[in-house]
Amino acid sequence: MGRIFEVRKSTMFARWDKMSKQFTRIGKEINIAVKAGGGNPDTNAALRRCMQNAKSVNMPKDRVEAAIKKALGNDTENYEEHLYEGYAPHGVAIIVETATNNNTRTVANVRSHFNKGGGSLGTNGSVSFQFKKMGVFKLNPEGLDADELELLLIDAGLDEMGESMDDNENPVLVLRCAFADFGSLQKALEEKNITPLSAELEWIPNVTVPVTDEQAEDVSKLIDRLEQDDDVNKVFHNMQ
């Protein structure tokens, strides 16, 4: 087991420091999870994941419960998830995940962000082949025997495990698995009474694109524009 290099959405490229943006994102994910699988986290693995992630961003319990209750109502908005692909300046590939109740508005806004940021919005499949969609679990390493855990989780679909740091420079243990194995790895962790700090589906680049500091600033500006959009949940890139 070694260190895992992460092409982060955070730090200089994402602006998740605004708590309201985090809560809005989690709220939409709860809405989608509840609509698909009901409001009982014991029988809805997607909802359990949302609740774990809500805890990781310090979303109050009453707000989580209110989001679940609202999603169970008949008058709540329905959100759909859409994926957009394109290029930032300097050949950097971008994947944008959105959750929206008005896709006409969202696609127009995303296209505008790409154009104004010096990039270009592509078609479905135009850049996603350069990424792998993977499950990414982050654990608090305290009290865990990483080598033993790695052996135990291989049969559950663990692809790789390594050390990294969170945005506050605290050590974390990062587990990755194929998209298809997300549920089995989540279940294996639950059976071992291990609660992840976060559990996400992320687009991991197969290769990264080297850029200069000046070029990175150009790309960062486009990513910032996208992440400030209320319909955008996550942005992934392959910038080195």
pTM summary value: 0.86
Q: DSSP letter string over 121-176?
A: E--TTSSGGGEEEEEEEEE--TT--HHHHHHHHGGGTEEEEEEEE-TTS-EEEEEE
Split at pLDDT 50, 70, 90, the class of 11 is: very low
The string of pLDDT tens digits covering residues 155-202 is 999 999 999 988 778 899 999 999 999 999 999 999 999 999 999 999
Has residue 16 got a pLDDT over 60?
no
Domain boundaries, the chain: 19-72, 80-121+208-237, 130-205
Same fold for the domain at 80-121+208-237 and the one at 130-205? yes
Question: Domain 80-121+208-237: which topology?
Answer: Alpha-Beta Plaits (3.30.70)
CATH architecture of 130-205: 2-Layer Sandwich (3.30)
End-to-end CA distance of the chain: 22
CATH 1.10.10.200, applies to 19-72 = yes
Whether the per-residue pLDDT at 107 is higher than 60: the answer is yes
